[in-house]
Amino acid sequence: MRAQRLAPPSAIVRHAVLLISGALILIPFVWMVSLSIKSPGEIFRASFSFWPEQFYGIENYTEALTSSPLPRYMLNGVVVCAAILALQIVICAPAAYALAKLDFPGRNLLFALVLIALLLPHEMLALPLFILGAKLGILNSYAGLVFPYVVSPLGIFLFRQFFKTIPDDVVHAARLDGFSELGIVSRIMVPMALPAIIAFGIFSVVSHWNSLFWPLIAVRDQNLMPPPLGIMVFKNEEAGNDYGPLMAASTLVVLPLIIAFLSAQRWFVEGLTGGAVK
């Protein structure tokens, strides 16, 4: 029990204030869903009511799913996020193991490089990365969306912190059992570090599912666009204010992460702030 606990009247004030601020925070989400089930006529009549007089959700959601390649955008998002996360783990976990458990000349220098890279804002490097992608001929492809992120300094950093907490005896025992160093990483360290992997995985998937900047630069082909870029194009193509289908599309893009968040809240909070709290 915290020492700042309040007396009953203040407890009512606490709930009142938090319910009001919570409601204000939720308004954009609520309005998004509300417009997504209203007919164009009702949207332009502009009422305060959340629930429509005439339920128009089926039409709007059908329109969102058929007039734009929204399912394709979502699939692209899944493919890109999965590829990025898989490569990040495959590349970062061995490096983190070397930094945490092996003794070799250059280790401190390598760790310093990781820390410096951790501080560099990736957007600032978009121009050289764009040129690199163009030279490699992988722009406008899944590879173009994925390659800037295959190594994550934050991933190396977090995995190293976690691996350091695993006793050295575990490593020695594994060596005596005939494991190779790579085998130790993939069959012992990574499974033991599952909490850190999940937290980092949530961070990685949320950032790349939501990312607009790099996809906007890297792909032109609509069939390759991840969800944020896709709904931006959908919005620009919709002449005027055809809000219903646009809000339906936005709702569908936000929905997977919100469902995941509500069902694994603690993991999300840890993952998205883990880099800060260490």
Partner 1 sequence: MRSASSATAEAITSPADRGASQKALRRHQIAEMLAAWSLAGPALLLLIVLFFLPVFAVIAVALTDWQFGASSFTFVGLANFRELLADEVFRASFVNSILYVVIVVPGTIVLGLAIALLIESGKSFRAFYRAIHFLPFMATLTATAIAWEALLHPTIGLVNQTFVSLGLPTANWLRDENTVLPVLAIIGVWQNLGYAMVLFLAGMKSIPQDLYDAADIDGADAFLDRLRTVTLPMLGPVTMFIFIVVALKAFETFDTVQILTQGGPGHASEMLLYTLYRESFQYLRTGYGASVAVVFLFIVVALTLIQARVMDKKVHYQ
Q: What SS3 state is found at 169?
A: helix
Q: Are 211 and 193 in contact (CB under 8 A)?
A: no
Residue 57 CB, shortest distance to partner 1, in Å, is 16
Residue 234 CB, shortest distance to partner 1, in Å, is 9
Residue 223 CB, shortest distance to partner 1, in Å, is 19
Select 59 or 87, whichever has its Cβ closest to partner 1: 87
- Token pair of 142 as six digits: 């899944």
Select 55 or 213, whichever has its Cβ closest to partner 1: 213
Q: Are 159 and 196 in contact (CB under 8 A)?
A: yes
Helix and strand totals (H; E) in the chain: 16, 0
What amino acid occupies position 110? L
**Does an H or E element contain 38, and which?**
none
Select 59 or 238, whichever has its Cβ closest to partner 1: 238
Select 65 or 232, whichever has its Cβ closest to partner 1: 232
Residue 87 CB, shortest distance to partner 1, in Å, is 9
The answer for residues whose C-beta is within 8 angstroms of residue 35's C-beta and 6 or more apart is 43, 243, 244, 247
Select 10 or 223, whichever has its Cβ closest to partner 1: 10
Residue 182 CB, shortest distance to partner 1, in Å, is 7
How far apart are alpha carbons 199 and 217 in whole angstroms? 28
Alpha-carbon Rg for the chain in angstroms: 24
